[in-house]
Structure formats: C-alpha cells, structure tokens
A and B are shown apart, each in its own frame.
Chain A
Amino acid sequence: MKTFPGGSHLQYLKEATQDKTIRELPLPKKVILPLQQNLGCACEPLVKVGDEVVEGAKIGDSQKFVSAPVHASISGKVVQIEKLPNPCGFEVPAVVIEGPGPSSQSPAPRTLDSLSAEEIKKIIREAGIVGMGGAAFPTHVKLSPPADKKIDTLIINGCECEPYITADHRLMLERAEDILYGARAAAQAVGATRIIVGIENNKKNAVEKLKSQAEGIEIAEVKTKYPQGGEKQLIKAILNREVPSGGLPLDIGVVVQNVGTAVAIAEAIKFGVPLIKRVVTVTGSGIKQPQNVMVRIGTTFREVVEQCGGLTEDTVKVIMGGPMMGLALSTLDLPVVKGTTCILALNKKDAKVYEEKDCIRCGRCIKSCPIGLLPNFIADAAKLKDWGRAEEYNVADCIECGCCSYVCPSRIYLVQYFKVAKKELQTRKAVCK
C-alpha cells in the first residue's frame, strides 16, 4: 500500500456522518462575507451599503494576482460593510447581505473542449475558487506555474485524513462525475497529461465509485494514515517525489487539488456558478445531529449548528476544521468561509486540556514527524527563544500537522512552539529586508 514515512494512526471517528447524504440547508436570511477568505491579498468591496445584489454577483475583488473575488451567496440588500471578526482569529472587512432578494438567471452551460488553458484559469479566478481542503489558496494561482516549470501530473486529493470529517468522502460518492470533470479541466489548464486521484483506503466505496467512472484517470488507493492528505505526503506516497525544502509541488512537476475544489471548478465551467456554497461536516460529541450539509458561504456557525440540532449542554470546544489542525473558535457568531471543511464540537471528555510536563526524550515525536524534524529539540530552542537554533533545526519545514503533539506522552504543546518560532523567523526576515 502506498504511503509516506512517519505520521500517526488516529481514531478516525467518521462513522457518525460518513453514510449521511449531503443535505442542502435552507437559505439563510443573512450572510456575512469576509472580503478575505483566501491566503494572499484581501479584496476591495465592489458594492456599497443599500445596494441590491443577486445571488452569484461579484461583491469584492482585487487587482493583486494572489487573491480570489468574493460573491454574494444569497440575493438581498447590502446592510453593512465593516471590519468583522472572521473564524481565522482576526478582523477583516466584510460585506453583510440580508435577504430575500430577486433570484438570478442561470447562465448558459459551456463545454470544456472549446476552452483554452487561459480561459479555464480566467473562469476559475472569476468564480472565486480557492483550495477547499482548508488552506484556501487561490486555485487559479496554483494552476499558473511559471513558464519554466513543466507540470506533468495533476493529483486530486481525496484522502481526507483528518478524523471526523466526511465532506470530501460524501462528494466522492455523490459528485464523482463533477470531480472527474473538474480534474480534467484543471489538468487541461496546466497541461498535465496524467491525472491521479489519491484516496485513503478507509473509503473503499469512494474508490469503487470513482474507478467505475474514471476514464483516463488513475485512482490511487493510499494507506490510511495521518497526514496522508498533506500535499507533500500525498505526492511522496503516489509519485515517490519530494517537494524540495522551501519549494512548491510545481517545482517537481505536480499540482494538487482537493476534490471539493474539483467540484467547484466543474460548477464554474459547466454552469458559470461561482463559489458561493460548500459542503461542511457538522459533527463531534457536542453536536446533537451530526451530518454533512451544503452551506451558503457567510452563513453563521450558529445557524448551521442550529440546523443540526444545536450543541449539547457539555460542549466546551468548537473547532473549524478537524481535530488535528483545526482552529478553536471562541464563539458561534462567525461566518462559514470558503475554507470551512468541518464544524467540530467537542464535549469535556473529548476536548481535554492537558498540563505540559517535562520531555522524557522518548522520541515518539521524531518517529511521527512526516518531515523528519526533531520536534523535541525545536521546542527546546523555542522555549529559550533561540530562534536561530530553531531555524537550524529546520522549523520552517514544519507543516503543523500536529502528529508530534498528538503522540507526546508529556503533553507538550509542540506545534504551538513551532508556530511561534515560524512567526518570529518570518518577522525577522521581513525586518532584515
């Protein structure tokens, strides 16, 4: 079975939602649309308070290359444009729209064959598509490698290695055709001749489903091991190539796209529909009715959670994303953004807070690191604020997957130290420039 070195075997806990069909939630009355939902640059608003907008209309855009426009996810009236908290922990300008409003007309369908690579990329950019596995990097940028980098392989990431989450699993079962369509479009855009869909072998039915329809597309079963869905780990497992330290997959001729992104690409090309909704897995011991839902971007977490039966009394933690890399939220009054894969609510028993003990040098963190770092020594350096030594130990290569913290018997918050060290080193570099 194809895999990568290091990593951890986790309890996957996907049973609560893996067999539940994606349910489209009723239209929210109000949406909060942050003007930055992607890695890179923020958008400027294209509307003003009082404007009527229709579903799918572009309401924010940027001239900068590494950016993605934002669209109205419901029809209605713009009631507020100001800095509001977003789930990533800081405030960004956001457009608030209150419905209802006039419905939009569906644009004429297009066919893929007639489109050039540039046209495909333009459609993807205009649709505001970003990486939907959680990172939210603008897709059109990923599909625009420098001229000297030849892309031979497009990998579609269907691993979904984080525990609990089943959004991509459901998409593979319910939207297989669109995933393959989106994959072909992305491959056409970068000139890749080989398309491989990588799926963890705990999703046998998804493997079967895609295999039955994948003409000219390879389906690669990979070992179920966290973080198999990490870009670098997936490339290593499938192609046995390694992204150079500090480099990108395109340096070794590969582009990786998530299955959710492939579906968004298919919708944008086939029907001209921009990215205004996404699948979110709502699950965990704190959710009364765990399920997979199709949510309009900008719907508040509170509304989504209420649609899933609400929170249990003993919920102590709400996380956007999975338990290994997700962000803990302080409140439910935040909007679902393009990178929201999951809303995970955990009760006291599942979200224990631990006291950090001294390192006993057991070496488990080192064995579990999929990058080959020495997490214990980096943490030692970070504790002493010796950023130079942290850099010498290659902290910049850390993918923050959380394996080291997970396996640490002394409960050391290793990833937290690495995040601080990386930030310090970035700041230092910025100052030096």
Chain B
Amino acid sequence: MQMNFDISVSPHIRAPYTSRNIMWMVALALLFPAAAGVYFFGLKALVLIVFTTLVAVLAEAVCQWLAKMPITVNDGSAAVTGILLALIVPPNLPLWMAAIGAILAIGLVKVLFGGLGFNIFNPALAARAILLASWPVAMTTWVRPFDAITTATPLFLVNKMHEAAPSYWALFIGERAGSLGETSVLMILIGALLLFLTRIIDWPAPTAYIGSVALLSWLLGHDPLFAILSGGLMLGAFFMATDYVTAPVTTKGRFIFGLGCGIMTVAIRFYGGFPEGVNYSILFMNILTPLIDKYARPRLYGGKKRG
C-alpha cells in the first residue's frame, strides 16, 4: 500500500491563535498602564520600562543558552515579565537594581524551574519581593507625578498615618504616588478590557480578588472604594492573579485563588507591617495553586464522584 497523504490523529484543524499570540497580546495590553506611567512619571519611566524589558529578554536567551535549552524569547513571555516588573517598581528605581530584578525573575524564578509553563511563582512578583528585601529604601521611595518630589503612597498615608485620601478621580486616572504602572486604574482597565475581549483572561480571579478586598475592607470599617482604587490591587488582579502559569487552571480554582488573594491582601494592609499586600498575597497563593488544582475540579458529566 503506497503512502500518499499525511497521517495524524484527529482533530485535523486547530484554533487560529497560539501561545505566542496570547503572550504578545498580554504585552500589548500592558502598554496601556505603561503609557500612563510614562505620562505621570516622565521619560525616566520610559527608560526603565524599555531597559528592564530588554534585560529580561536577553537574560532569557542567555539562561536558555547556558542550560542548553531551545531559545524561546520570541514567545513573548520574557517581554511580558520585563514590562510587568518595570510596572511594579518605583519609577525612579536605579537601573542596575531593575536589571538585577529582571535577571533574577528570568534566571532564578523562571528558567531554573523549567521555563514557560513550569515556574511556581510569578517571575515579576517574585523578583519584586527579592528587590524589596534587598534594597528596602530604594524600593519604597515614591515620587509625586509630574514634579518627582519624594512622597509616600496614598495607602501608607491613609492607613498608617490616618491622613485624608486623594480624590477618587485622582486615584482613578492615576495621579498619585506609587509603582510605575499601578497608579492609573483607568489605563489598567483598558488593558484588561482588551484581554477580556480577546478571551485571554476570564472573570473569576479578578472578580473574586477585587470583590473580596472591597467587601472585607468595608466590613472592617474602611472605605471600600479607596481600598480597590489604591495600591497595586487593580494591576495585580487583572495582570498577575490571571497569570496562566502560576494560578489555578479551572474556573472554580481561579475563583478560590482570587478570594485567597483578597483575604491575604486585606490582612496585610490592615494588620501587617507593610502598607500594601498585593505582591505577597499573590505569591502566597501561587504556592497554593497545585493544591487548589487538585481539589477544584469541574463537575464530571454523568456525576461520578471524583477520586
């Protein structure tokens, strides 16, 4: 029997998008909060974003080359990590610190664990935690938008110093001190909308996260609207609690993940030593992801009990 045609197992057609498309779309969505950061904090912010991204991409290429792995920098995931890292550090962070952060994010947190798909922690968040522990002053030196005068973040001023909060409008458009890309809720929402419309992220984790922070803050006697508009919550909820690799895979699991993040964030904000808890709460929930995946399974057709 002569072989004339290609043989492969069904299905013979595939959906039009690939992992690469998805990653670059996430990078594109991150450009909205990035643009807000550049608008409020100036050229310095732009330099930081571009520099951190380049270091991250380069670090991935070098690490993969050293590990004799295929070099996959064009899949976009290293670029996403680089942009994300720049968005969650102070806008005036020295470039060499940012470079160390990017190298640690890619080398230590991602490639050492096996690369895209295998890392336990969100690389950008883990790198930020390391930077915060290593250079606590530089990582908590915030500046005011436009004039770059050193100040504190609204969360610190309101929750720790009991000062008056900025207007909701200022918080919404992002005219406040904070990490480079976390301040503009408006631009974060536009980026997130893009990811919702392209069905790259889904509702359970962000909804559970933001919802639980608002509800718990209100129950504890704080202003829920201020709680969700300040700090890194919006950026974390839409761009980090939705990270495919480090969050659960099922709808149920993602909801539980968001809920856990919310509880941890509120606990850190109101009872912890730090003014903000988004970073640590997502990292903490990253550890629980395999456990959540084990139990939060979808319902099986035919209703058999799961083992």
Within 8 A of A (CB), among B268-307: 293, 297-304, 306-307
Contact B14 A352 (CB under 8 A): yes
Which residue of the partner chain, among A85, A376, A405, A415, contacts B249 with CB atoms under 8 Å?
A: A376
Residue B167 is within 8 A (CB to CB) of chain A in the complex:
no
Q: A330 with B4: in contact, given A323-B11, A419-B9 (CB under 8 Å)?
A: yes
* A-B pairs under 8 A by CB, number: 170
Which residue of the partner chain, among A318, A323, A409, contacts B15 with CB atoms under 8 Å?
A: A409
Contact A361 B13 (CB under 8 A): no
Q: A351 with B302: in contact, given A363-B244, A406-B14, A411-B14 (CB under 8 Å)?
A: no
Residue B7 is within 8 A (CB to CB) of chain A in the complex:
yes
- Which of B16-24, B38-46, B140-148 has 4 or more CB atoms under 8 Å from chain A? B16-24
Within 8 A of B (CB), among A381-433: 392, 394, 397, 400, 402, 405-411, 413, 415-416, 419
**For the side of the interface on A, what is the size category?**
35 or more
Q: A409 with B116: in contact, given A323-B11, A325-B11, A331-B1 (CB under 8 Å)?
A: no
Residue A332 is within 8 A (CB to CB) of chain B in the complex:
yes
Residue A242 is within 8 A (CB to CB) of chain B in the complex:
yes
Q: How distant is B45 from chain A, measured CB to nearest CB, in Å?
A: 29
Contact A415 B11 (CB under 8 A): yes
Contact A319 B12 (CB under 8 A): yes
Chain B residue numbers with a CB within 8 Å of A277 are none
Contact B6 A316 (CB under 8 A): yes
User: Which chain A residue lies CB-closest to B249?
Assistant: A363
Residue A210 is within 8 A (CB to CB) of chain B in the complex:
no
Q: A409 with B21: in contact, given A358-B116, A397-B300 (CB under 8 Å)?
A: yes
Q: Mark A319-347, 1 if CB is under 8 A from B, else 0.
A: 10101111111111100000000001010
Which secondary structure dominates where chain A touches chain B? Answer: loop
Residue A239 is within 8 A (CB to CB) of chain B in the complex:
no
Residue A62 is within 8 A (CB to CB) of chain B in the complex:
no
**For the side of the interface on B, what is the size category?**
35 or more
Contact B301 A409 (CB under 8 A): no
Chain B residue numbers with a CB within 8 Å of A244 are 302-304
Chain A residue numbers with a CB within 8 Å of B301 are 232, 236, 242-243, 245, 370-372, 397
Complex CA gap A32/B304 in Å reads: 44
Residue A379 is within 8 A (CB to CB) of chain B in the complex:
no
Q: Mark A355-379, 1 if CB is under 8 A from B, else 0.
A: 0011111110011011111101100
Contact A315 B303 (CB under 8 A): no
Residue B94 is within 8 A (CB to CB) of chain A in the complex:
no
Chain B residue numbers with a CB within 8 Å of A352 are 14
Q: A331 with B307: in contact, given A326-B10, A415-B9 (CB under 8 Å)?
A: no
6 CB-based A-B contacts, threshold 8 Å:
A330-B3, A360-B19, A366-B249, A370-B301, A394-B306, A419-B9
Interface residues of B (CB under 8 A from A): 1-15, 17-19, 21-22, 75, 115-118, 202, 244-245, 247, 249-251, 254, 293, 297-304, 306-307
Closest 5 CB pairs of A and B: A402-B11, A245-B302, A245-B304, A358-B117, A416-B9
A317-B8, A362-B244 known, 7 other contacts, Cβ within 8 Å: A245-B301, A323-B11, A361-B244, A363-B250, A372-B297, A372-B299, A394-B304
